[in-house]
Structure 1
């Protein structure tokens, strides 16, 4: 069964001084690593499709005739334009950039995203602040989703159809709120591949880390069962830990004795 593997990046290291936290550094790949990964995709002649193509295929129940890839970036970092944009253009690879609104601190950054949108790249929302959506009461959740969509559309002149959930944290309430806010699909950080019948508000992605080796990357491109299972197990451990962190003490005790409910 053929499927879509959606790659997810955050920032690309350019050699400039950085004050990023260890968590952010772990999600920051070097320029050389990113270039090598794009070159490998090109060498393998693996089709890279846009998120519009992914969503349309799932909506219509279309089966792919071979494995395909999609490329996304989270956060709205300056290296989207400085590094990712020219390299993706070089290979004619489509990609989507999910923007955290508060990370855009100058008119120049919005001008860069307008240029990227004009070149055919998709822009999506990574919310207003990039906050964990599970921590927010209903009105704040609604604001993070609707206001980010409105601002990005106003600043870039392009329609925002897709949401990427910060920290990969979501539940049914977040899914319903995303649909209510007018998004056509929601992208998570849960590792896996997306088949023809995937849920449009639970689309899976594989996050590329700083320590991801080129061999591990190639194994995932080929959907190596052992590599995919390892990444899925790591993702499940992370997701379970996040869910447990946001429970009340009583819920944590209940989980300990009776398991997930």
Structure 2
């Protein structure tokens, strides 16, 4: 479709009155860094990201958060084939790897940051749990594998456990309560962390890096405080996550913050109502699709980008306009 010219025809038609919002998480230079403990579905390699930003510059019209906000709230027209680049979570690699590439191609972007993780050394529970469980797998001895099998409820097949089994276990844990997840992590830390953490690359931005990127034109917005799912919280806790994250970010940046990306994309009518009450006028989800001005501004769809759905230019550009 791309090489025949049909992509350009579809792009004009599909994006005539719509915009595409792309979701990135991690951009990894794997030749320089140890492999991170993140799901492959949130990782793009540095070379792939460079290709993608060049493709956006050449074939679409990247816009800033301010431009997108003016379009959504005030009806200001966007250029044809508009695209907004977003990052969730505020990973350190956004600064070390993605930021120079964005500057290279002069691509505006917005990073949604969970305030509890900025400028400290804690990890998301998914990455930490996968890190500890992978440590047992890497040890390879019978006792470690048997302990891992017990944790994964695979008692009869300890020797055949793979990284895919561990990833599946972590994904399944997403349905558990916060208390269950916290207890499981504390147990792993006590059992396996006696000699410190294994080497990893699961860190987040600090405020100096945030402010440097902001000075260079990268926008920042809220991703709540704890990155826990808002739908599962009490009214009071949900309100606190929404309001305090916005207040703290405004204090650090010295400018209004009116946009948020829901942690994990999860939201419902209650969360949307509280998001509006907390002063946000834009809220980004993880549902796939294109955005038109008739859509709900507190449930903006986005296209998730990762290595497997975007490894070459044609595939990436087809994915951006929801053709795959």
Instruction: Name the TM tier (shorter chain).
Output: 0.7 to 0.9
> What runs of 5+ residues in structure 2 fail to find an aligned partner?
1-15, 122-204
Hey, what does 1:105 align to over in structure 2?
119
The DSSP-based 3-state class of the residue aligned with 1:211 is: helix
Is it true that 1:76 corresponds to 2:97 in the alignment?
no
Is it true that 1:32 corresponds to 2:29 in the alignment?
no
Higher relative contact order (CA 8 A, sep 6+): 2
Hey, what does 2:316 align to over in structure 1?
217
| Deviation of the 1:58 alpha carbon | 2.2
Q: After superposition, what is the alpha-carbon deviation per residue over 1:194-249, rounded to whole angstroms, capped at 9, x for unaligned?
A: 1132221111111112311323311134x36x42xxxxxxxxxxxxxxxxxxxxxx
Q: Which runs of 4+ in 1 moved over 6 A?
A: none
How does the TM-score come out when normalised to structure 2? 0.64
Question: Any residues of structure 2 matched to 1:110-129 within 5 Å, and which?
Answer: 110-129=207-226
- Alpha carbons of 1:65 and 1:122: their partners in 2 closer, same or farther (altered >3 Å)? closer
Q: After superposition, what is the alpha-carbon deviation per residue over 1:112-149, rounded to whole angstroms, capped at 9, x for unaligned?
A: 11111122221101111111111111111011111111
Q: After superposition, what is the alpha-carbon deviation per residue over 1:153-196, rounded to whole angstroms, capped at 9, x for unaligned?
A: 22333322100001110001111111111112101111111113
> What runs of 5+ residues in structure 1 fail to find an aligned partner?
228-261
Provide the C-alpha distance between the structure 2 equivalents of 1:151 and 1:127, rounded to a whole number of angstroms: 10
| Deviation of the 1:64 alpha carbon | 4.0
Query: Is the 1:61–1:197 contact (alpha carbons within 8 Å) kept by the matching residues of 2?
Result: no
Hey, what does 1:186 align to over in structure 2?
283
How does the TM-score come out when normalised to structure 1? 0.79
Aligned length: 222
Provide the C-alpha distance between the structure 2 equivalents of 1:160 and 1:52, rounded to a whole number of angstroms: 11
Hey, what does 1:10 align to over in structure 2?
25
Q: Give the structure with higher Rg (CA).
A: 2
Query: Is the 2:116–2:225 contact (alpha carbons within 8 Å) kept by the matching residues of 1?
Result: yes
Provide the C-alpha distance between the structure 2 equivalents of 1:127 and 1:210, rounded to a whole number of angstroms: 26
Is it true that 1:47 corresponds to 2:146 in the alignment?
no
